[in-house]
């Protein structure tokens, strides 16, 4: 299994965030590989144009053929951002600064021999950057506002959980193979790689629409763990009837859906209510102490307070018997 070795300073300075480049590379992987059912509608929308773009550019095809294996991706594609929430152009500045020998060296770690077109063509970093711009522009950017709301809600949720459960509780929810092992060791996946020493270095946790946990680095002192975001697609939550009788159906549903941080816009989409109606219900529920709120970027996120959780999740023994 693969591990991160951390110390108190690493964890004290670790932070959660988002990355447009990470989201783009995650989308690229989804276009290249079989996907879970919840990703299929998105992939079905974009895979034909993606395959057409590759067919029109043999260098793009060769780069992708060499850049990914089952357990590894070429380092130049997965470099963590210098800070969370940068634009994709700011993140691509590192890639475009790399020379051809650097790109070929990263690719050779994944797969050899390299295709002739990769060995003989110059401007590899520019070609790779243009491929990523295409994936961003066509498959991610049109839906970025919704994606960002989901990502930001996840970040707020993880940060809140950290204060309540500590790192052990937070890490346990990042992926099926991620866990705190004790003695300054974090298991990040089950691939058989040597431990990575990140003691005294920067560590970021990046939420993304991805199928599994991935690790990346910008040597010598910046590391990241990318994890699958929760709430990838909104689901319908049906509140219990006693809660409906207490609050009314719409307020009860909004309270139930706020089990994880949600934005006003997301609630409008999931409930079908107007923006004004959702905003009014959120105000009443917040004033009553059933919801908490926090600003995340340009959005305000709402989630159940301790009181709200107790109201929604009453013990079964307290519920009336059916007549």
> What are the domain boundaries of the chain?
2-16+146-228, 21-142, 241-318
Average pLDDT over residues 201-205: 96
Query: Does 149 or 282 have the greater pLDDT score?
Result: 282
Mean pLDDT on 33-42: 88
Query: Residue 232 has what pLDDT?
Result: 56
Prediction pTM value: 0.76
Range name among 187-201, 217-231, 263-277 with the lowest pLDDT average: 263-277
Mean pLDDT (whole number) for 302-317: 80
129 vs 176, residue with greater confidence: 129
CA pair distance 201, 265, nearest whole angstrom: 37
CATH code for the structural domain at 241-318: 1.10.10.10
Pair of tokens at residue 15 = 């932070």
Residue 234's pLDDT band, with cuts at 50, 70 and 90, is very low
74-101 pLDDT, tens per residue? 999 999 999 888 999 999 999 999 999 9
Q: Phi/psi zone of residue 184: left (φ > 0), alpha (ψ -120 to 50 degrees), beta?
A: left
Above pLDDT 70, what percent of the chain?
A: 92
Say yes or no to pLDDT of 317 above 50. no
Q: How far is CA 309 from the centre of its chain?
A: 25
Q: Mean per-residue pLDDT for 155-178? A: 83
Would you say residue 233 has pLDDT above 60? Answer: no
């Amino acid at each position: 299994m693969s591990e991160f070795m951390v110390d108190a300073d690493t964890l004290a300075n670790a932070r959660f965030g988002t990355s447009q480049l990470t989201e783009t590379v995650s989308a690229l992987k989804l276009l290249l590989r079989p996907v879970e059912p919840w990703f299929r509608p998105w992939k079905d929308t974009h895979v034909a144009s993606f395959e057409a773009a590759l067919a029109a550019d043999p260098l793009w095809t060769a780069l992708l053929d060499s850049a990914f294996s089952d357990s590894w991706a070429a380092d130049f594609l997965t470099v963590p951002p210098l800070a969370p929430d940068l634009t994709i152009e700011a993140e691509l500045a590192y890639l475009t600064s790399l020379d051809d020998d650097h790109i070929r060296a990263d690719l050779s770690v994944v797969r050899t021999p390299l295709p002739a077109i990769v060995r003989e063509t110059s401007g590899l970093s520019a070609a790779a950057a243009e491929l990523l711009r295409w994936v961003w522009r066509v498959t991610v950017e049109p839906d970025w506002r919704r994606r960002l709301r989901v990502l930001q809600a996840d970040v707020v949720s993880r940060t809140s959980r950290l204060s309540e459960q500590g790192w052990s509780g937070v890490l346990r929810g990042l992926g099926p193979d991620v866990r705190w092992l004790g003695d300054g060791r974090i298991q990040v996946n089950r691939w058989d790689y040597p431990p990575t020493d990140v003691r005294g270095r920067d560590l970021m946790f990046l939420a993304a629409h991805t199928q599994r946990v991935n690790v990346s680095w910008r040597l010598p002192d910046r590391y990241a763990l990318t994890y699958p975001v929760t709430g990838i697609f909104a689901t319908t939550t049906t509140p219990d009837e006693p809660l409906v009788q207490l609050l009314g159906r719409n307020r009860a549903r909004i309270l139930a859906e706020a089990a994880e941080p949600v934005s006003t816009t997301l609630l409008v989409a999931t409930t079908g209510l107007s923006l004004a109606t959702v905003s009014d219900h959120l105000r009443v529920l917040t004033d009553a102490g059933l919801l908490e709120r926090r600003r995340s970027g340009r959005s305000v996120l709402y989630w159940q307070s301790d009181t709200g959780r107790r109201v929604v999740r009453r013990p079964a023994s307290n519920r009336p018997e059916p007549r």
